[in-house]
Structure formats: structure tokens, C-alpha cells
Amino acid sequence: MLKLSDATAVLLAGGKSSRMGSDKGLVEFRNKPMSSHILEVLSTLFSDVIVISNNDSYKNSGFQVFPDSITDKGPAGGIVSAFEHANSEWIFVIACDMPLITTEAILKLYEAINDSEICLPLTKDGIEPLCGFYHASIQEKLGALIHSDILKMQLIVKKFSLNLVEFDNAENLFLNFNTKADLNAWKEYGS
């Protein structure tokens, strides 16, 4: 498969996971950590894959791991940290709790970048800001927003040139597991 050499894949695993009770990316899903499923998909598509996390356990993943350079600022801070370590103009950002993502979904987003600064999925549940492509041109403005304590990603992405890609009947691709109840419900009703 063709590797996307003009983008760096970034697994965001720096969250506090307070609702899960332990690091979400390391919680077992289908017999291995959630993050392992995502990293396998990313490594088939991207030449460069990095992990943003303050948890040393990710150093066993086989990928470069960098801590948050701006702490306690949520995913927005993680994206700033990712740009500091990316070797490309584009980064593909994904949260560590989306183990159902596919190469097809990532390629669909990649092909829709066009002239946007950010390219994200749009599902029946709305915009998914933690699974998409971000251009390096947003760094300065993103830093200013964080400095102003605007941290909610749903608000941040709307301040940039944004391309939304519709995904019909694909809500499971972007399903994220925030609690043990989410995981248990998936085991009971999911496939």
C-alpha cells in the first residue's frame, strides 16, 4: 500500500482518562491495548508515526513517544506538541480511544484535504475533531487560542478553514470508549 509520506500520523494518548480510571489507550480491546489497534492501522499508511503521551508505557509501542510540551491543555495542547515533532506540513491526529478506525476512512479524509487547513469527519453525531488532518499553518493561531484558554476542540476547529467529509452509517469508525461501561456495552452489543 502507498505510504502517505507528506503527513505524520499522531496518536494522542496524553489524556487523564479520568472517566475510564486508567490510561484509555492501554485498556484491552479485542485482546490487545486499544492504542495497538490504531498504531497498526497508522503504520500501514504513514511513513512517520509518533505518539504524544506523558505515560512511559507507550515507549514499548515501537514508535517515537513525545510528552506534551503544553501540559493540562487537553487535545489542543497535544496537537501543538505534535507539530513540534512532525516532519511534515500535515499531521493526521487520532485519539487513543478509537480502535475501530480503518485505512479506508483515513484515505477518504486524506483525499478530501483540498485547500483546507483542517479536514475532519462529519457523522450523524457531528464533527469528530480527534480524527483528522491538520496543517502546520494553524500552529500560531492554535497557540493563541490555547493561551486564551479556548480548549474545546469543537470550537477551535471552526476558527480555521475546515473541510468536513461525510461518513454515512459509519458511526462505529469513530466510536470512542471513554468509560468501562462503553467497553462493556460494545462487548455485549457490538461486533
CATH code, 121:
3.90.550.10
Grid coordinates belonging to 67: 510528552
Confidence at residue 36, expressed as pLDDT on a 0 to 100 scale: 94
Confidence at residue 170, expressed as pLDDT on a 0 to 100 scale: 57
How far does Cα 20 stand from its chain's mean position? Answer: 18
Q: How far apart are CA 132 and CA 91, in angstroms?
A: 8
Strand 90-95 vs strand 4-12: parallel, antiparallel, or unpaired? parallel
Chain segment 120-137, per-residue pLDDT in tens: 999 988 999 999 999 999
Confidence at residue 184, expressed as pLDDT on a 0 to 100 scale: 67
Is residue 17 predicted with pLDDT exceeding 80? no
Mean pLDDT, residues 18-28 taken together: 66
Judged by DSSP in three states, 79 sits in helix
Confidence at residue 125, expressed as pLDDT on a 0 to 100 scale: 85
Q: How far apart are CA 12 and CA 35, in angstroms?
A: 9
- Percent helix / strand / coil, the chain, rounded to 5: 40, 25, 35
Range of the domain at 19: 4-189
Q: How far apart are CA 69 and CA 23, in angstroms?
A: 19
> What band does 190 get if pLDDT is binned at 50, 70 and 90?
low
Q: How far apart are CA 179 and CA 19, in angstroms?
A: 5
Contacts for 156 with CB less than 8 Å, ≥ 6 apart: 76, 129, 142, 145, 150
Q: Say how many domains are in the chain.
A: 1
- pTM value > 0.85: yes
> What band does 49 get if pLDDT is binned at 50, 70 and 90?
very high
> What band does 18 get if pLDDT is binned at 50, 70 and 90?
very low
Chain segment 58-104, per-residue pLDDT in tens: 998 899 999 998 888 999 999 999 999 998 999 999 999 999 999 99
Q: How far apart are CA 132 and CA 90, in angstroms?
A: 10
Mean pLDDT, residues 161-186 taken together: 78
